[in-house]
A and B are shown apart, each in its own frame.
Chain A
Amino acid sequence: MSAPVTTLRSAGLRAARATSDGIRGPWGLPILFAVLAAVGVAESLRLILVGATSEARAGGWYLLLVSMLIAVGALARPDRAATKPPAVPGPDVVAPESSVQAEPERRTHAHKAVIFFVATVAFAWALPWVGFAVANGFFVAAYLIWIDHRRWWHALLIAVVVDACLVTGLRLIDVVLPSGVLGIGI
């Protein structure tokens, strides 16, 4: 039972580290800006060349201008800090204490970010089906168990109390919460 969980966990950690390293590499941002600029240029050309009205063509020119602004970002030099190999602490190079400690700590927190993202997507997906009261309860519990590392019964207890307080407080000020197909928390 524990072997698949461990494998899954280490795969998650590897994925989180790979994502983190990719994001923090020197070319991520220029590539993103280049893609956005290309999308903008393609759409602007469509409007300029086949736009039915003069307003549509004007909108195309505006978009072309905006794409040029984004292209400026794509042409920016990659981050020097990201391209430079990290300084190796030695007799002449003393790495600041904070940076030496922060990097491994940051890496161990990367899997928490992945868990947070999954929990957030699950919340957004579940909201129309189960309503805010249930989705929020599970979200808070999941956060406390997997990100805040609390005991499951402790996390559940806190989630129920927080959820009840939130829903009651919001209902008191007449906030209409999504209740889902089961109508929970109306």
Chain B
Amino acid sequence: MSLTDLAGGFATVLSPSVLLLALLGCLAGTLIGVLPGLGPVTAVAVLFPLTTYLDPATGIIVLAAIYYGGMYGGSTTAILLNIPGETASVPTAIEGNLMTKRGRAGAALAMAAITSFVAGIVGTVGVWLIGPTLSRFALRFGPPEMLGLLIFSLVTIIGVTSTSLRRSVAACGVGMLIGAVGILPASSETRLTFGSTDLLQGFDIVPVMMGMFGLAEVLRTILRPPIRQHEVAVGSLRPTRQEFTAGMGAGVRGTGSGFFLGLLPGMIPTIASFLSFASEQRRARRRGSSRFGTGAVEGVAGPEAANNAAAMAGFVPLLCLGIPTGATMALVLAAMLVYGIIPGPLLFGQHPDFVASIIASFFVANVILLVLNLPLVGLWAKVTRVPTGLLMAIVASGCLLGAYLSENSFTDVWVCVVFGVVGWLLTEWGVPLAPLVMGMILGPLLEVAAQQSFALSPTFFLERPIFITFAALTALSVLFGMRMRRKGMAGDED
């Protein structure tokens, strides 16, 4: 992608109407993100249907702004109240809240915002540089290569989520079972429809995700004992020189590791965040000057940067290969399909203007968040103390409306309700939802790729070097997952 394309992208994004929408997206995303328990997945799930009324480029721009806003909101509550809005913010909450208790909340928030901004910008440049090259490489992919990649993605996400491997495997299987409902590929026969005409087209991903990540989250919030919040003094947003140096160092390291981990399909940002925290803790211990346990800024800056960089990097496999790296990316994929854009190797070549607008929007959303949300941090801290009842009611009705709007179908509203209960039940039982979502999205692709691969050659797995490479990577990812499990670092969700 040329600089001219990118300049065109900026011209689109910097038009006043798009800028205003991006700004509103950031604010709405942050508003949902700061609500205890709700994170970027819920923010994107609830607000995504409204973006379908915009043109594709603007819709994705607003969606990216909502996503960033949700992530920012999650880290704010993690630092101020020790309530991570998403699992990726758990490491931030550990040291960030200790900094708050030391009266350094402002510095922690500022360093989280600055390092997230740096990671976001570096990640965006990475998407711009790596995306076109990977797309050209992916053009060589036939069904066997795609099959190898899909197996790798599923195995990775199973390996890195949840502390119970069996539950992760079964969750992935349930997702694939849900994805298998409907008319069989390349056949007129039906599967798992039980005679219902409503099920012939299978389940649409949007109402399923609205239910599992929206309604189920509201249900969990209702069941959770109310959080008694107290006034938190944010204090000065200016970090000391020592905090700034230590934080920036950790941020740069987190950005590097987070971006490269995030490029791997199935490697959710949560893992990058936890790995960065562990690596910073080890580094500090080795140097003999560990402030971990008393509020170390490295424990905030590193994970926040890694989380943001991995989230950015997740757009590379999504745009180039059509493979989401987690639940939020799955929603972005669903949104792109609704807009009529099919992500994959041809996207960079066929719609360079669209991709350029997305990349430009990442830059702009990062700048908006840094410039706007940091001064508003006091306001966000107050929002967390507003009784959540009304907001939860709006979130719930927004989910039901969103489910309807995705296809203008009342059946989808019922699908959303059913999957809301299913999502709540599964999380009550400790079943991770990320492998389920990935199984539901990637399962049908895997089935088609497997059928086509066997039709090409029954021994394709011995003949295709790229497939063999993916098989080796899958084996490595199994080993990595086992190691993480032993260390107790497997994450729960996207």
Are B429 and A29 in contact, CB atoms less than 8 angstroms apart? yes
Which A residue sits closest to B179, measured CB to CB? A66
Asked if A9 is an interface residue, CB under 8 A from chain B, the answer is no
Are A120 and B400 within 8 A (Cβ)?
yes
B194 to A: closest C-beta gap in Å:
9
Report if B367 contacts A (CB, 8 A).
no
Answer whether A67 and B222 are a contact pair too, CB < 8 Å, given A139-B393, A178-B404.
Answer: no
Chain B residues, Cβ within 8 Å of A124: 400, 410, 413-414, 416-417
Known contacts A102-B225, A113-B222, A175-B50; is-contact A120 B417 (Cβ 8 Å)? yes
Q: Is B174 a contact of A55 with CB atoms below 8 Å?
A: no
A147 is an interface residue with CB less than 8 A from chain B: yes
Tell whether, in the assembled complex, residue A23 and residue B428 are in contact, meaning their CB atoms are under 8 Å apart: yes
Asked whether any CB of chain B lies closer than 8 Å to the CB of A183, the reply is: no
Nearest Cβ in chain A — how far from B99, in angstroms? 23
Query: How many Å from the CB of A180 to the closest CB on chain B?
Result: 11
Contact B191 A63 (CB under 8 A): yes
Whether B394 pairs with A140 at a CB distance below 8 angstroms is: yes
Majority secondary structure of chain A interface residues (helix, strand, loop or mixed)? helix
Q: Is the CB of A76 within 8 A of B170?
A: yes
In chain A between 34 and 49, which residues have their CB closer than 8 angstroms to a CB of chain B?
36-37, 39-40, 43, 47
**Contacting residues, chain A, for B225 (C-beta < 8 A):** 101-102, 105-106, 109
Q: How large is the interface on A (under 10, 10 to 19, 20 to 34, 35 or more residues)?
A: 35 or more
Q: Which A residues are in CB contact (< 8 Å) with B290? A: none
* A112 interface residue (CB < 8 Å to B): yes
Q: Closest CB of chain B to A88's CB: distance in Å?
A: 22
Identify which of residues 124-176 in chain A touch chain B, using a CB-to-CB cut-off of 8 Å.
Answer: 124, 127-128, 132, 136, 139-140, 143-144, 147-148, 150, 158, 162, 166, 170, 173-176
Distance in Å from the Cβ of A98 to the closest Cβ of chain B?
A: 9
- Closest B residue to A102 by CB, please name it: B225
**Interface size range on B against A:** 35 or more
Q: Are B390's CB and A59's CB within 8 A?
A: no
Inside 8 A of B164's CB, which chain A residues have their CB? 76
For the complex, give the distance between the alpha carbons of A55 and B280 in Å.
Answer: 52
B434 within 8 A of partner (CB):
no
User: With the chains together, A74 CA to B171 CA distance in Å?
Assistant: 11
Q: How far is the CB of A62 from chain B (nearest CB, A)?
A: 5
A63: chain B residues at CB < 8 Å are 177, 180, 191-192
Let me know if B187 and A56 touch, CB within 8 A.
Answer: yes
Report which A residues bind B (CB closer than 8 A).
Answer: 23-24, 28-29, 32-33, 36-37, 39-40, 43, 47, 51-53, 55-56, 58-59, 62-63, 66-76, 79, 101-102, 105-106, 109-110, 112-113, 116-117, 120-121, 123-124, 127-128, 132, 136, 139-140, 143-144, 147-148, 150, 158, 162, 166, 170, 173-178
B positions within 8 Å CB-CB of A? 50, 53-54, 164, 166-167, 169-174, 176-177, 180, 184-187, 189, 191-192, 215, 218-219, 222-225, 387, 389-390, 392-394, 396-397, 400-401, 404-405, 408, 410, 413-414, 416-417, 420-421, 425, 428-431, 443, 447, 450-451, 454
30 CB contacts below 8 A, A to B, read A23-B425, A28-B425, A33-B170, A40-B177, A47-B189, A53-B189, A55-B184, A56-B189, A59-B184, A62-B450, A63-B180, A67-B177, A69-B173, A69-B176, A70-B177, A72-B166, A72-B169, A74-B170, A76-B166, A76-B167, A79-B429, A109-B225, A120-B215, A120-B396, A123-B400, A124-B410, A124-B413, A127-B413, A140-B390, A144-B393
